[in-house]
Amino acid sequence: MTLSGPEDYDPRVIEAHETVIVGGGQAGLALSYHLARRGREHVILERGRVAERWRSARWDSLAFQFPSWSIHLPGYAYETADPEGFAPRDAVVAFLERYRDLIRAPLRTGVSVHALRHRPGSSRFLLDTDAGTFEAASVVVATGPYQEPAPLPASATLSRGLFQTHSSGYRNPAALPPGAVLVVGSGASGCQIAEDLAEAGRRVYLSVGRHRRMPRRYRGRDVFWWLDQMGGRMGGLDQTVDERPARRLPNPLVTGAGGGHDIDIRGYVAAGMTLLGRLRGAREGALALADDLEAELARGDAGRAAFMRAVDEHVAETGLDAPPPDPSAQEATRSVPPPPLELDLRAAGITSVVWATGFRHNFGWIRLPVLDEAGDPVHRRGITRCPGLYFLGLTWLWKLKSSVLCGVGEDAAYLAEHIAARA
């Protein structure tokens, strides 16, 4: 509702709402669906457009990492003639746009929130934005898990003439200057970008770090189908924060590009890539590399084998109808050439670096005591100790699937119920 300036409101406040959702991505839209079903008034503030990060922070050849049948939000599923296929980036954007229209989300685009605080002398919240100040009884921070690139301490010590970009800024091989490319990071983004570059004929150096390989398909089903089936056991999507391993596992190393295939980092050598150990440091024109390549590859192979064993045990325990294990799924370990411990970028012909080093949160705009020393939110299933303030869509908010399209709706329903009861 728009205020006309009654005396009991801060004159800077332009609107007051029962609930303000910050972020118009999949999490914010899913919550809007559940709040609307409960008849609760709300508005969504989005700094860009709906699905902004899918539009502006993803590369051109990206395909959704899990099968199209897994793409759904509350009340709506992705429509496709190939449910076992993998949706391209722009199709995911179109899906979120259709969902916004279907649920008639009260979305305000182009509105950035710069500060969230309590209204003095009140339990209500004030949100300072570039469109004015909003007031709310409840606020849900749904800005996603991938907010800003993780810091790159070594990037400042490399040659000034070297082109550098984070994975969120990479678009396609043609956008990089001619020459070899160093990709730092062997998660899903790093490996997919390395493959994209190699397929375009670029010389690629890949610095390999911690990763968790998985087969694209096993025993007749996609890996995501198994993750969905295995509930709270090892790697299952319904595993809760109370059940997760003490040492957090990397995200599954899978790709939907080219119809979906296994990511085999050892096999990159045959494709012409040069594998390197973890980046230890850099100075003008040179890299210092760890002697840990084989150890990291072995850990990745072990993760793949452990996942297949977990599937076999799950099938045996539940009696699921599944084909027997395919002998070809048991890979023979292939050796890779010993990597150098130092690399001269100029001698290697490297003109570009793509930093696939992940993301971090940026909640510095929240002026309330709900963050820990590292700046991460403190909550239980999205509910903070500050009454009326919630988080949604974060990795491991409650379950392993909390930050993905097929899982965010469950958390959204839980928070919507909490907000409605509080109101």
- Averaged pLDDT, 344-354: 96
Contacts of 331 (CB under 8 A, 6+ apart): 264, 301, 304
Q: Two tokens at 229?
A: 């089936």
Q: Is the model's pLDDT at 423 over the cut of 70?
A: yes
Q: What is the pLDDT of residues 192-237, one digit of tens each?
A: 999 999 999 999 999 999 999 999 999 999 999 999 998 766 668 9
* CATH level 3 topology of 13-147+361-422: FAD/NAD(P)-binding domain (3.50.50)
Q: What is the pLDDT of residues 6-42, one digit of tens each?
A: 444 455 788 999 999 999 999 999 999 999 999 999 9
Distance CA 138, CA 23 (A): 14
Sequence ranges of the domains in the chain: 13-147+361-422, 150-355
Calculate the average pLDDT of the chain: 93
Contact 131, 10 (CB under 8 A): no
Q: What is the pLDDT of residues 144-169, one digit of tens each?
A: 998 899 877 677 788 778 999 999 99
Q: What is the pTM of this model?
A: 0.94
Q: What angle separates helix 408-422 from helix 26-37, to the nearest 10 degrees?
A: 50
Return the higher-pLDDT residue of 293 and 249: 293
Residue 356 CB neighbours (<10 A): 24
Q: What is the DSSP pairing of strand 212-213 with strand 252-253?
A: parallel
Distance CA 28, CA 25 (A): 5
Q: Is the model's pLDDT at 50 over the cut of 50?
A: yes
Q: What is the pLDDT of residues 254-306, one digit of tens each?
A: 999 999 999 999 999 999 999 999 999 988 789 999 999 999 999 999 999 99
